[in-house]
Amino acid sequence: MAGALLAQPPAQPAKPKPPVPAKPKAAAAPAVPAVPEVERETGLYATITTTMGVIVVKLHEKESPITVRNFTGLARGTKAWRDPKTGQMVRRPLYAGTVFHRVIPGFMIQGGDPTGTGAGDCGFVIPDEFHPDLKFDKPGRLAMANKGPKTGDCQFFITEASTPHLNGLHTIFAQVIEGQDVVDKIAATPRDSSDRPRTAVRMRTVTIKRFGPDPNPPKPAAPAAKKPAAPAAKKSAAPAAKKAAAPPAAKK
């Protein structure tokens, strides 16, 4: 029939595409169990969360106050230290992400160097603090590494055994109260001839928390001294103009 529209052949249905197989998800790194919130006896504590477990230490702030302030300031990011990449002094948490670069079974584990080598320079040194009640007479002593007297900075170590030959050489500033088994596991990590772990063991975070009152609370800022008002400047009286003496009268 003239003018009739010819029917179009039906469109071919699109062939279904075969489903794309889902990529297998990468296995997640084993999670380190969270540290449960517990009440502790009065004092200042550090929780060192590592890739191999959690270590909790009690800080000896009374016996080693300078060293404890140094450690907590670096952990919190309130104390300046030298960034090895830029050479600039920075204020940010130092220990998070650093490694234990030296481990010796039956002796100790050492970390805290921002370069991860043990040869880093943090840009400052602190004095030694030796207290008669703190000796290397048991495992779990947290102490400052150094290059000699009065050269402590940011590196520290945790002992795995009694090490009396270190008495009088390294400042002890904390004691492990939980996680000594983690210290032992880290110390037993396979290592190379330089005592460096073949698989990096990192500090994920180092957090500081106080239980009970602060024995040395920060002093409130002194009110700004009021400046005494400046005395009003007195106008000096203008000297009276002297009248010129009358000339002597002419004699008649």
Phi, psi of 68 (to 5 degrees): -65, -45
Q: Biggest alpha carbon distance in the chain?
A: 160
Sheet architecture: strand order including 53-59: 100-104, 108-111, 156-159, 141-144, 172-178, 53-59, 43-50, 203-211
Residues 84-95: tens digit of each pLDDT: 999 999 999 999
The list of the chain residues with pLDDT below 70 reads 1-37, 221-222, 224-252
Active site residues: 102, 107, 110, 146, 157, 166, 170
What pLDDT, on a 0 to 100 scale, did the predictor assign at position 1?
A: 45
Number of domains forming the structure of the chain: 1
We report the CATH number of the domain holding residue 50 as 2.40.100.10
* Residues facing 142 on adjacent strands: 158, 174
The pTM for the full model equals 0.74
Q: Both tokens of residue 213? A: 């009152």
d(CA 203, CA 179): 14
What pLDDT, on a 0 to 100 scale, did the predictor assign at position 17?
A: 52
What pLDDT, on a 0 to 100 scale, did the predictor assign at position 38?
A: 76
* Residues facing 49 on adjacent strands: 54, 205
Residues 122-173: tens digit of each pLDDT: 999 999 999 999 999 999 999 999 999 999 999 999 999 999 999 999 999 9
In a domain, 7, yes or no: no
In a domain, 204, yes or no: yes
In a domain, 247, yes or no: no
Which value, to the nearest 10 degrees, does the dihedral of the CA atoms of residues 84, 87, 92, 97 take? -10
Domain that holds residue 78: 43-211
- Backbone φ/ψ region at 140: left (φ over 0), alpha (ψ -120 to 50), beta: left
d(CA 32, CA 52): 7
In a domain, 73, yes or no: yes
What pLDDT, on a 0 to 100 scale, did the predictor assign at position 92?
A: 98
CB 138 within 8 A of CB 177: no
In a domain, 159, yes or no: yes
In a domain, 22, yes or no: no
